Chain A
Amino acid sequence: MARSKLQLRIAQSPVLRYGLAVLSVSVALGGALLIERLQLRNITLFLFAIAVAAWYGGTGAAVLALLLSCISFAHFFVEPSHSIPYFILFALFAWLVSWFSSVRRRVEAELLAERTQQGSLLNLTHDSIFVRDMDFLITFWNLGAQELYGWAAEDAVGKHSHQLLQTVFPAPLEDVHAELLRTGRWEGELKRTTAQGTTVVVAARYALRRDEQARPVAVLETSNDITQRKRRQEEIQRLNQELAKRSRELEAINKELEAFAYSISHDLRAPLRHMAGYTELLQKKASSALDEKCNHYILMMLDSAKRMGNLIDDLLAFSRIGRAETQKTLFSLTQLVREALSEVRQDAEGRNIAWKVGSLPDFYGDRSMLRLVLVNLISNAIKFTRTRTQAEIEIGCADGNGDDLVVFVRDNGVGFDMKYVNKLFGVFQRLHDSDAFEGTGIGLATVQRIIHRHGGKVWAEGVVDGGATFYFSAPNPRGHLWKP
Chain B
Amino acid sequence: METMNKLGRILLVEDDPKDVELTLTALEEYNLANEVIVARDGEEALEYLYSRGKFQTRSSDNPAVMLLDLKLPKVDGLEVLKQIKSEEKLRMIPVVVLTSSKEEKDMVASYRLGVSAYVVKPVDFHEFVNAIKELGVFWAVINEPPPGSVRK
**Residues of chain B lying within 8 A (CB to CB) of residue A269:** 100, 121, 123
Known contacts: A269-B100, A274-B22. The answer to whether A280 contacts B126 by CB under 8 A is yes
- The CA-CA distance from A270 to B121 in the complex, in Å, is 9
Contacts of B123 in A (CB 8 A): 269, 272-273, 276, 305-306, 308-309
B149 within 8 A of A: no
Whole-angstrom CA separation of A308 from B124 in the bound complex: 11
B34 within 8 A of A: no
Q: When the two chains form their complex, are residues B22 and A262 in contact, meaning their CB atoms are under 8 A apart? A: no
Task: Tell me, yes or no, whether B125 is within 8 Å of chain A by CB.
Answer: yes
Does B152 reach chain A (CB closer than 8 Å)? no
Give every chain B residue within 8 A of A265 (Cβ-Cβ): 100-103
Interface residues in A238-297 (C-beta closer than 8 Å to B): 262, 265-267, 269-270, 272-274, 276-281
Q: Establish whether residues A270 and B22, one from each chain, have CB atoms under 8 Å apart when the complex forms.
A: no
- The 8 A CB mask of A287-320 against B (1 = contact, 0 = none) is 0000000000000000001101100010010001
Cα-based distance from A276 to B26 in the complex (angstroms):
14
- Give how many A-B residue pairs fall within 8 Å (CB-CB): 57
Interface residues on A, range: 20 to 34
| Chain B residues in 8 Å Cβ range of A281 | 22, 25, 125
* CB <8 Å contact, A274 and B102: no
Could you mark each residue 87-124 of chain B with 1 if its beta carbon is under 8 Å from any beta carbon of chain A, else 0? 00000000000011111100000000000000001111
Residue in B25, B99, B102 whose Cβ sees the most chain A Cβ within 10 Å: B102
Query: Nearest chain-B residue to A270 (Cβ)?
Result: B100
A273 touches B101 (CB 8 A): no
Residues 13-65 of B contacting A (Cβ, < 8 Å) = 16, 18-19, 22, 25
Q: B99: which A residues are within 8 A, CB to CB?
A: 266
Nearest opposing residue in chain B for A305, CB measure: B123
Which residues of A have CB within 8 Å of B126? 280
How far apart sit A316 and B106, CA to CA, in the bound complex (Å)? 15
Whether B85 sits at the interface, judged by CB under 8 Å, is no
Contact A266 B25, CB 8 Å, known A272-B123, A273-B123:
no
Contacts of A262 in B (CB 8 A): 101, 103
Q: Which of A267, A277, A279, A320 contacts B128 (CB 8 A)?
A: A277
> Using Cβ atoms and an 8 Å threshold, which residues of chain B touch A274?
16, 18-19, 22
B25: chain A residues within 8 A (beta carbon): 281
Complex Cα distance A281/B24, Å? Answer: 13
Residues of B within 8 A of A276 (CB): 123-125
Complex: A211 Cα to B10 Cα, angstroms: 100
Interface string of A191-221 (1 = CB under 8 A from B): 0000000000000000000000000000000
Closest to B17 in A: A274
15 contacting pairs across A/B (C-beta < 8 A) = A265-B101, A265-B103, A266-B71, A267-B100, A273-B19, A273-B100, A273-B123, A276-B123, A276-B124, A277-B22, A278-B22, A280-B125, A281-B25, A305-B123, A320-B104
A281-B22, A281-B125 given. 4 additional CB < 8 A pairs? A265-B103, A269-B123, A273-B128, A277-B18
Nearest 3 interchain pairs by C-beta: A309-B123, A280-B125, A277-B125
